[in-house]
Amino acid sequence: MSGTIAEKILAKASRKKYVEPGDFIVADVDVVFAHDGTATLAFDVMKELNEEKVFDSKKVVLFIDHAAPSPSPAISAIHNRMRDFSKLHNVKLYDVGNGICHQLLPSEGYVKPGSLVIGADSHTVTHGAFNAFATGVGSTDAAIAMMTGKIWLKVPESIKLELNGNLSEGVTSKDLVLFLIGNFKADGFNYVAIEYSGSTIEKLSVDSRMTIANMGVEMGAKASLMPLNENTRVWLSKRVQGPITPVEPDKDATYYKTYSFDVKSIEPMVAAPPNVDNVKPVTELEGLEIDQVFIGSCTNGRLEDIELALRILKGRKVKSRCIVIPASKEVYYEALKKGYIEELLRSNCVVGPPTCGPCIGAHMGLLGPNEVGISTTNRNFPGRMGDRDAKIFLASPLTAAASAVEGKITDPRNYLKEVS
Partner 1 sequence: MRGKVVKLGDHVNTDFVISGKYKFKTQDIKELSKHIFEDLDPTLSQKITVGTIIVAGKNFGYGSSREHAPRVIKEVGVSAIVAKSFARIFFRNAINIGLPVIVASESFIDSTDEGDKVSLDLEKGIIRNETKNMEENFKPYPSFISVVMREGGIVSYFRKYGAFPWDTR
Instruction: Tell me which of partner 1, ligand SF4, none is bound by residue 140, counting a contact when its beta carbon lies within the kind-specific cut-off of 5 to 8 angstroms.
Output: partner 1
* CB-based contact 306:324 (threshold 8 Å): yes
Nearest to ligand SF4 of 34, 159 (CB atom): 34
Per-residue DSSP letter, 350? E
Q: Which residues of 119-152 are buried (b: 16+ CB within 10 A; e: fewer)?
A: bbbebbbbbbbbbbbbbbbebbbbbbbbbebbbe
Task: Report if residue 53 touches partner 1, rule: CB under 8 A.
Answer: no
Helix (H) or strand (E) holding 34: strand 31-35
Query: Is residue 213 within the footprint of partner 1 (CB under 8 A)?
Result: no
| 305 touches ligand SF4 by CB under 6 A | no
* Binding of ligand SF4 by 100 (CB under 6 A): yes
Q: How far is 263 from 280, CA to CA, in rounded Å?
A: 16
Which region, judged by CB under 6 A, interacts with ligand SF4, from 110-118, 156-164, 354-362, 405-413? Answer: 354-362
Nearer to partner 1 by Cβ, of 116 and 263: the residue is 116
Q: Which is nearer to ligand SF4, 66 or 174 (CB)?
A: 66
For the four alpha carbons of 64, 233, 399 and 277, in that order, the dihedral sign comes to negative
Residue 171, binding choice from ligand SF4, partner 1, none, Cβ under 5 to 8 Å by partner class: none
The yes or no reply on residue 61 touching partner 1 (CB under 8 A) is no
Among 95, 382, 414, 416, binds partner 1 (CB under 8 A): 382
Please report whether residue 354 would count as binding partner 1 according to CB under 8 A: no
Give least dist CB 309 to partner 1, A.
25
| C-alpha distances out from residue 272 to 275, 329, 344, 347, 409, Å | 7, 31, 26, 26, 11
* Cα–Cα dist 142/144, whole Å: 6
DSSP string of 200-260?
HHHH--HHHHHHHHHGGGGGT-SEEE----HHHHHHHHTT--S--------TT---SEEEE
Residue 321's beta-bridge partner residues?
A: 292
Pick one of partner 1, ligand SF4, none as the site partner of residue 406 (Cβ within 5 to 8 A by kind).
Answer: none
Name the site residues for partner 1 (rule: CB under 8 A).
24, 26, 37-38, 40-41, 45, 48-50, 66-67, 71-72, 74-75, 78, 119-122, 124, 136-141, 144, 148, 150, 152, 186-187, 190-191, 220, 222, 275, 360-363, 379, 381-384, 386, 388
* Residue ranges that bind ligand SF4, judged by CB under 6 A: 66, 100, 102, 121, 123, 297-298, 356, 359-360, 377-378
